[in-house]
Structures are given as C-alpha cells and as structure tokens.
C-alpha cells in the first residue's frame, strides 16, 4: 500500500471515530431543553464553512479523487505524523465529550441546569474541544495527499474558531458571571500556558 492510500484510509477512520464518539452525546442532548442560545445565521454560516473544510471537500476527494490536479505524493514520515495528530485529536475529543456530558452541544447553547465545567480536561483549558478540532484539521492536512482537500480543514475550522470564540465566551460570561470571568483568568484557550 502507498503512503497516499494509507493516509486516505486513516482520514476515513478518523471521521468514523469522531462520529462514534459524538453520536451518543448528540442523542442525549436532544432530550435536554435549551434555555439560551447564540444560534442564528452567523453561527449557521460558520458551521457550514467548517463542515465544508473538515468534511465535504476531503470527503469528495477521498471518494472521487477530485481535485486531481492538486494531488501530492506524501512520505511515510508525513503519514506517521498525521496518524499521531489523529490519535491526539480523538483522545482529546473523547475526553472533552465525557467532561461536558449533559452540557454538551454541537453549537452555542445553554441547556437547563447547565453547570460550568472547570475540572478534568477543562481545568487548564477552556476550549479543549477546539484543541481537538485543530489537531484533527492538522491530521487531515498531513494525511490527505492533496494540497486543496488536505489544508481545507485548517482553513474551514480556523474561520469557525476565530468567529465563534468571542460569542461563545460572551454567552458563558452572561450565564455564569464572575465564576466564568475567574475561570477565564486562570485558563488558556487551546494550548496550556500559551494561548
Ligand atoms: C461545541 S461545545 C465547545 C466547548 C468548548 N468551547 C471547548 O472547546 O471545549 C460548545 C458548548 O459547550 C458549552 N460549554 C463550553 N464550555 C463549557 C464549560 N466550561 N462548562 C460547561 N459548558 C461549556 C457551551 O454551552 C456551548 O454550547
């Protein structure tokens, strides 16, 4: 098997793993009433852009080979780094879902009896699920042998991240007040001690 083929297969496994982790939380979340939300046209657009970069474009490439002119020939070393980033992404993704539990939401919602989670993976980082998405987007860039479909995840998720983090933190501050401000002061966003 070539590195290019291995990379594409690993990407498919990453998407399957990602959905398997998320599915039970998605089902459970439907049963809890949303009390406050920041959903709207801007959030829908952000999510569509991210889905295009992380799912639609790479999915089309893996299924059809398009865009053919942008194909690359990755080394085994690059694929190995991609698999390491993929493993990190899935471990982080699982930990964040477990920690958020009933408070999980795909978008910006405050559910009934919503509590602020500040322990476990949320102790030093306030957006560890977004750290997982960055690792996933990096894995995609390394694994997919295509210079459009590969980096599309970094661009798509980067746009969602940059545009969502402000509204999300404002929503959390409006809901949890001083407790969130204190939490924000002692945590980093996505990389412990750095950013
Ligand atoms: C897609 S999740 C992303 C969570 C977080 N930004 C992260 O990267 O880990 C968004 C939802 O998580 C909830 N949320 C975010 N941080 C939280 C926290 N520390 N405690 C409880 N709920 C949180 C918000 O209500 C929001 O609807």
Domain ranges within the chain, ordered by starting residue: 3-186
Q: How many CB atoms lie within 10 A of CB 192?
A: 13
How far does residue 97's CA lie from ligand 1's centre (Å)? 10
State how far the alpha carbon of 84 is from the alpha carbons of 42, 79, 114, 138, 168, in Å. 33, 9, 34, 10, 29
Q: How many CB atoms lie within 10 A of CB 161?
A: 18
Local structure of residue 194 (DSSP, 8 states): T
ipTM: 0.98
Q: Is the pLDDT of residue 66 over 90?
A: yes
Instruction: List ligand 1's pocket residues with C-beta within 6 A.
Output: 96, 100, 103, 105-106, 108-110, 116-117, 122, 126-130, 168
What is the pTM assigned to this prediction? 0.96
How do residues 127-182 score in pLDDT, each as one tens digit? 999 999 999 999 999 999 999 999 999 999 999 999 999 999 999 999 999 999 99
Q: How confident is the model at residue 28 (pLDDT cuts 50, 70, 90)?
A: confident
Q: What is the pLDDT of residue 151?
A: 98
3-186 belongs to CATH 1.20.120.1630 = yes
Phi, psi of 35 (to 5 degrees): -95, -30
How far does residue 117's CA lie from ligand 1's centre (Å)? 8
How far does residue 129's CA lie from ligand 1's centre (Å)? 8
Best residue among 91, 105, 106 to mutate for probing ligand 1, ranked by most atoms within 8 Å of CB: 105
């Amino acid at each position: 098997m070539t590195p290019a083929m291995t990379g594409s297969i690993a990407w498919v496994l990453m998407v399957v793993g990602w959905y398997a982790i998320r599915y039970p939380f998605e089902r459970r979340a439907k049963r809890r009433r949303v009390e406050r939300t920041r959903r709207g046209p801007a959030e829908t657009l952000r999510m569509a852009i991210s889905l295009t970069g992380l799912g639609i474009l790479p999915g089309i490439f893996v299924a059809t080979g398009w865009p053919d002119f942008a194909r690359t020939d990755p080394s085994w070393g690059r694929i190995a780094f991609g698999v390491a980033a993929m493993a990190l992404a899935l471990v982080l993704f699982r930990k964040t879902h477990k920690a958020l539990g009933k408070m999980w939401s795909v978008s910006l919602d405050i559910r009934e009896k919503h509590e602020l989670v500040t322990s476990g993976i949320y102790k030093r980082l306030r957006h560890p699920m977004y750290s997982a998405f960055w690792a996933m987007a990096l894995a995609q860039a390394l694994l997919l042998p295509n210079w459009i479909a590969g980096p599309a995840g970094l661009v798509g998720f980067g746009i969602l991240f940059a545009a969502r983090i402000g509204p999300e933190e404002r929503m959390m501050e409006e809901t949890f007040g001083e407790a969130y401000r204190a939490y924000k002061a002692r945590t980093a966003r996505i990389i412990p001690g750095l950013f």
